[in-house]
Amino acid sequence: MSEASLTVPLHDRLALAKEASRATAQLTSAEKADALESIAAAIESSAAEIIAANERDIARGRASGIADSLVDRLRLDEIRVASLASAVREVAALGDPVGQVVGGHRLPNGVSLEQVRVPFGVVGAIYEARPNVTVDIAALALRSGNAAVLRGGSAAEESNTVLVRVMREALASAGITSEAIQTVDDFGREGARALMQGRGFIDVLIPRGSASLIETVVTESTVPVIETGAGNVHIVLDSTAPEDWSREIVVNAKTQRPSVCNAVETVLVLRDAATRLVPLVADALQSEGVAIHGDDVVAGMVAGVIPATDEDWETEYLGLEIAMKVVDSLDDALAHIRQYSTGHTESIITTDTRNADRFLAEVDSAVVMANASTRFTDGSEFGFGAEVGISTQKLHARGPMGLAELTSTKWLARGSGQTRA
């Protein structure tokens, strides 16, 4: 942000975002797409500055001892900065949800009713060590006609400062008010509290981060919250699970990027398949440097296993660790998931269509899969261009959230002088 913007008091900054949201709601689809292209180009041209700021954040984080998983989420290199710009362009190319007709009908008296999508207004976001979220949410908010107010946390403070300034300057160059993208990072925890207590200014608030951060936002907010949840993700290997699928899917789901919420954290193996699959999958995981926390059966089959405790079944490791347990039946696997899942993503590996169908029907998570890696639970992979987050609640939005999830609806009624009897 500019030096002038940093002098604006917190309350006034939220008011400016609210005012800006009325302007962004009136932008045409082409105007929003052009603005996003300006942002993408500005990110590309500012890559060196963004990476330098990010390197300072990482150095400060390492000095303070932050976990490797947070360092991975925090990092922006040339490839990731290019991916940020690409994601913005993908969002620009998506269909504009604003004005889409969701439903409608004509009353017997001739009044015509239409239910159409409209922007929320101001989307607030509280997150930590995720500079990519700064760009993703700003882009999705703008494409859906909203303004965004961001609290990205101290770990990525320098990265986010540069990213927000670059995006605001790009908006101004496109003839759109720069107040449509705001940050309250410079106010620290006071800024986060202002978002949580911002009734009248913040229309919806989205937390992304640790379980404790999400719980704080959910419990302390007076504004509506879309809850994104921690990812205690499960994969079940049933009696018919092919060996190659089991090995490749579990290894991919754990190691392709272990620091993210859709990485698998617990593998449940049906007892009929344990002798065949446990050593195979465990060896493949250990070869990739994964530490296995296993029950007594797993520990008896595989060397180097860490004895699992009850705490392991509820842990989101976010690193190269995994829990593994042998269960007697699919019923027991489903019961384990009901007890420990955070409702994010679960997958079953099986060639038994009845077991697959039962798993898909009975598991109550935002995304339920058969014979696929849990790493596919992602807005980009789902075709959304980017994602606001992965909602684990059931009202309004569930699963990866894209443009449509940043809109509400209103009813339009068109009459010709009708009055109610």
Per-residue pLDDT tens listing for the chain (421 residues) = 544 455 688 999 999 999 999 999 999 999 999 999 999 999 999 999 999 999 999 999 999 998 887 898 899 999 999 999 999 999 999 999 999 999 999 999 999 999 999 999 999 999 988 899 999 999 999 999 999 999 998 999 999 999 999 999 999 999 999 999 999 999 999 999 999 999 999 999 999 887 888 899 999 999 999 988 788 999 999 999 999 999 999 999 999 999 889 999 999 999 999 999 999 999 999 999 999 999 999 999 999 999 999 999 999 998 999 999 999 999 999 999 999 999 999 999 999 999 999 999 999 999 999 999 999 999 889 888 777 888 888 888 889 888 999 999 999 999 999 999 8
Judge whether 3-228 and 233-376 match in fold.
no
The Cβ of residue 394 has, within 10 Å, a number of other Cβ atoms equal to 11
| pLDDT score recorded for residue 393 | 84
CATH of 233-376, one of 1.10.3720.10, 3.20.20.70, 3.40.309.10, 3.30.1130.10: 3.40.309.10
Domain residue spans in the chain? 3-228, 233-376
pLDDT of residue 45: 98
The reported pLDDT for the residue numbered 5 is 55
**Given the structure tokens 């829990």, which residue do they identify?**
323
Nearest Cα to Cα of residue 283 among 303, 254, 259: 303
pLDDT computed for residue 108 by the predictor? 96
pLDDT, residue 2, reads 47
Q: Residue 307's pLDDT is what?
A: 97
Three-state DSSP string of the chain: CCHHHHCCCHHHHHHHHHHHHHHHCCCCHHHHHHHHHHHHHHHHHCHHHHHHHHHHHHHHHHHHCCCHHHHHHHCCCHHHHHHHHHHHHHHHHCCCCCCCEEEEEECCCCCEEEEEEEECCEEEEEECCCHHHHHHHHHHHHHCCCEEEEECCHHHHHHHHHHHHHHHHHHHHCCCCHHHEEECHHHCHHHHHHHHCCCCCCCEEEEECCHHHHHHHHHHCCCCECCECCCCEEEEECCCCCHHHHHHHHHHHHHCCCCCCCCEEEEEEEHHHHHHHHHHHHHHHHHCCCEEEECHHHHHHCCCCEECCHHHHHCCCCCCEEEEEEECCHHHHHHHHHHHCCCCEEEEECCCHHHHHHHHHHCCCCEEEECCCHHHCCCCCCCCCCCCCEECCCCCCCEECCCHHHEEEEEEEECCCCCCC
Q: Which CATH code of 1.20.1440.130, 3.40.605.10, 3.20.20.140, 3.40.50.300 fits the domain covering 3-228?
A: 3.40.605.10
pLDDT of residue 208: 87
Burial class (CB in 10 A: 0-12, 13-18, 19+), 393: middle
**How many Å apart are CA 192 and CA 347, to the nearest integer?**
35
pLDDT at 3: 43
